[in-house]
Amino acid sequence: MTYIPISPAEREAMLETVGVKSLDALFEAIPAAHRFPKLNLPPALSEMEAAAHLADLASTNENAREHLISFLGAGAYHHYTPAVVDHILRRGEFYTAYTPYQPEISQGTLQAIFEYQSLMSALTGMDVSNASHYDGATAAAEAMNLAYAQFRGKRKKVVLSPFLNPQYREVIGTYAQAAGIELVGADAQTDLEATPESFAELIDEDTMLVVVQYPDFFGRIYDYQKLAEAARAKGALFCIVANPTALITLKTPADMGADIVVGEAQPFGIPLWFGGPYLGFFTTKKAYIHKMAGRLVGETVDSRGQRSYVLTLTAREQHIKRERATSNICTNQGLLALAAAVYVSTLGKSGLQKVADLCYQKAHYAASELSKLDGFSLRFDAPFFHEFALTCPKPAEEVNQYLLDHGILGGYALGKDYPALKNDLLVAVTEMNSREEIDALVETLKEMN
């Protein structure tokens, strides 16, 4: 990292902006006993003692691999990661690599990113993919930035589905504030049975983007083709936030008329990791490639006519365009993009299809058995993939606590984001949940009754 000194005038301006008179004042909130250089720290430990202490601290964490049966999803899912993924990631040439600005010494990294881009484009049916974003929420917000740039700020309205992941809606809202963009439709008090077609009436000539989720936050599967046509009729772009595992078996977003497809690629070889780091994928049509944020690797030939790879169309990026760039969120999650590429390549088409099928079949078995319990029912009748809303006889938080006391991590309490669903759990089932675990969940809830 390069240190860039600032002038006294710039320093004074920065201090004035944050509301303090000196650099020392910045640290007044820190107790004096803990300020440099007289830090009040315990005696140093040897390497052996430090390792034992850290291992003891780590052992207090309960996780889905060793301690808990997990049915929690809502955007981050417990899938199996083949051992080869971690093996490849730990190779020094990938583990330590930074953004490959020098293609002559970065061909391996560039090819890995190119393969990732190719796989994500094939999966979504779109023309191009970038080299990834921080997470799915960031990718969704960058879709809004693309639309804003496409219309050169002349349109300032975005229609958000209320059934888009609430965290994604919050991140999009943060981006929208600075640009003065109006967000409509994302009201948690909306009719929970509303269909995609009902959102069409919100689209007008000032709408630049329509954003939906597939499957939606409740796990429901809808065909968005008519809504995409309604957006196109008003000249707006259409974005689908997709679960990549579901795309293996469902109709592609491209077939429904999507202009942009984004989402979280964590299901592809990336552990839960307590919330990150994750991998936001971003794909779009070739027509919008110059407005797309993030790195883009292209295939070419070198001076000897041999196949090679380079960062391409870089003139649109912030390190060249600066404030005129579409976005300044440009760091590519190269290591995690590699994980996704290795995961998809390792499983192959048949393996991926088997994972998706197991998720679907096991989730439907769980839903069937749970809905037989007294006081429990499925909230929605719509088709679903591997996640569904379960209405409980008691508040969801109480149900989750009861399950946790019995070694089961329950579903996501939907009342946090949808007040009308205080008794509802969003239950996720993946290939990692055995029939015995599903039966244990059913029996535990039966005993609770």
69-82+348-448: what CATH class? alpha beta
The region, left, alpha or beta by phi > 0 then psi within -120 to 50, assigned to residue 194 is beta
What residue has token string 């244990």?
Answer: 440
Q: Quick one: angle between helices 435-448 and 334-370, nearest 10?
A: 50
> What is the band of 74 on the pLDDT scale with cuts at 50, 70, 90?
very high
- List, for residues 81-106, the tens digit of each pLDDT value: 999 999 999 998 888 877 788 888 89
Contact between 133 and 277 under an 8 Å Cβ cutoff? The reply is no
Sequence-ordered alpha helix ranges (H) in 96-199: 107-124, 136-150, 166-179
| Higher per-residue confidence, 114 vs 274 | 114
Per-residue pLDDT, averaged over 21-36, amounts to: 84
HEC string for 331-368: CCCHHHHHHHHHHHHHHHHHHHHHHHHHHHHHHHHHHH
Task: List the CATH code of the domain at 83-342.
Answer: 3.40.640.10
The structural domains of the chain, with segments of one domain joined by +, span 69-82+348-448, 83-342
The answer, yes or no, to whether residue 289 has pLDDT greater than 70, is: yes
State the CB neighbour count (10 A cutoff) for residue 402: 16
> What is the band of 1 on the pLDDT scale with cuts at 50, 70, 90?
very low
Indicate the pTM of the whole model: 0.89
Main-chain phi, psi angles of 267, to 5 degrees: -60, -15
Cα 130 from Cα 297, distance rounded (Å)? 8
Instruction: Please tell me the least confidently modeled range out of 11-15, 342-346, 401-405, 422-426.
Output: 11-15
Cα 151 from Cα 149, distance rounded (Å)? 5
